[in-house]
Amino acid sequence: MALKYDRLRVISDSRGVVFEPIEPGAIEKHKNAHVVISGPGVIRGNHYHEKGEETMAVMGSALVRTSDNDKIDEVMVPAGEVYQFIFPPGVSHAIKNLSDQSNILMAFNTMEHDPQNPDTVSDIIL
């Protein structure tokens, strides 16, 4: 399956930025939402989900790498832009902050997070 992603609309002014991380109506299918703030050079992810589909909004500057059946895809998210990615079950994903500042990602998953039995399998791809 090819990597699916879209550039999101970002409203920016002197106060900062605003974006909508998922489409209206899509929130009902998600059972988990989390925000990740990563420092410069930090890599997050490096895993896949066995059952859950993850929708993620990534604010650049960032590199998003995926692996699906040994096919590697990479997308550069430019500084100041936000891209939404949809990672189906079994698709490994990793996100690297390429900025010299913290960056933000927001993720939604169709599975509840269970710390005792997480729906993640480690897969170091970045």
Q: Work out how many domains the chain is built from and give that number.
A: 1
CATH of the domain at 3: 2.60.120.10
Residue ranges making up the domain that contains 75: 1-10+34-82+91-126
- Report yes or no on 19 lying in a domain: no
Q: Is 18 within the bounds of a domain?
A: no
The sign of the torsion formed by the CA atoms of 1, 77, 110, 17 equals negative
Residue 49 lies inside a defined structural domain of this protein: yes
Separation CA 19–CA 10 (nearest Å): 5
pLDDT greater than 80 at residue 1: no
Average of per-residue pLDDT across 114-126: 95
Residue 88, pLDDT score: 95
Establish if 117 belongs to a structural domain: yes
Is residue 39 in a domain?
Answer: yes
Q: Are 33 and 108 in contact (CB under 8 A)?
A: yes
For residue 105, is it within any domain? yes
Q: Which residues contact residue 79 at a Cβ distance below 8 angstroms, ignoring those fewer than 6 apart?
A: 60, 61, 99
Q: pTM of the predicted model, to two decimals?
A: 0.92
Query: Is it the case that residue 78 has pLDDT exceeding 90?
Result: yes
Confidence of residue 3 (pLDDT cuts 50, 70, 90): confident
Q: Is the model's pLDDT at 2 over the cut of 70? A: no
SS3 of residue 99 by DSSP: coil
